[in-house]
Amino acid sequence: MSPALQLHLRSQRLTTDAAGHTVWEVEERPAAWPAGETALLLCDVWDDHWSRGAVERLEAMIPRMSAVVEAARELGVLIVHAPSDTMTFYEGHPARVRALETPRVPLPEEIAHADPPLPVDAADHGSDTGETTTHRPWTRQHPGITIDPARDVISDQGEEVYSVLQANGRRRLLIMGVHTNMCILHRTFAIKQMVRWGVDVALLRDLTDAMYNPASSPYVSHEEGTRLVVGYIEKFWCPTALSADVLSSRATTG
Q: What is the per-residue pLDDT across 34-48, written as a single tens digit (0 to 9) for each? A: 999 999 999 999 999
Instruction: Output the pLDDT for position 254.
Output: 57
Give the pLDDT of residue 253: 66
Give the phi and the psi of residue 174 in degrees, each rounded to 5.
-90, 140
Please tell me the predicted confidence (pLDDT) of residue 103. 98
* Cα 51 from Cα 136, distance rounded (Å): 10
Q: How confident is the model at residue 250 (pLDDT cuts 50, 70, 90)?
A: confident
Answer whether 184's CB lies under 8 Å from 203's CB.
yes
- The predicted-structure confidence for 226-239, as pLDDT tens digits, reads as follows 999 999 999 999 99
Query: For the whole model, what pTM was predicted?
Result: 0.96
In angstroms, the CA 173 to CA 41 distance is 7
pLDDT band at 252 (very low <50, low <70, confident <90, very high): confident
The CATH architecture annotation of domain 34-253 reads 3-Layer(aba) Sandwich (3.40)
Average pLDDT over residues 75-102: 98
Q: Is the pLDDT of residue 1 over 70?
A: no
- Could you tell me the pLDDT band of residue 2, with boundaries at 50, 70 and 90? confident
Q: Which pLDDT score is estimated for 39?
A: 98
Question: 217 near 121, Cβ under 8 Å?
Answer: yes
Q: What is the mean pLDDT of the chain?
A: 97
* Residues whose CB is less than 8 angstroms from the CB of residue 92 and which lie 6 or more positions away in sequence, other chains included: none
Average pLDDT over residues 191-212: 98
Distance CA 41, CA 238 (A): 15
Crossing angle for the helix pair 158-167 and 94-101, to the nearest 10 degrees: 80
156-162 mean pLDDT: 98
Confidence at residue 203, expressed as pLDDT on a 0 to 100 scale:
99
Would you kindly state where each structural domain of the chain is located, as residue ranges?
34-253
Q: Which amino acid is at 71?
A: A
* CA distance linking residue 245 with residue 241, whole number of Å: 7
Mean pLDDT to the nearest integer, 128-145 = 97
What per-residue confidence (pLDDT) applies to 147? Answer: 98
Instruction: Give the pLDDT confidence of 162-178 residue by residue, as tens digits.
Output: 999 999 999 999 999 99
Question: What percentage of the chain has pLDDT greater than the value 90?
Answer: 97
Let me know: does 55 contact 158? Beta carbons within 8 Å: no
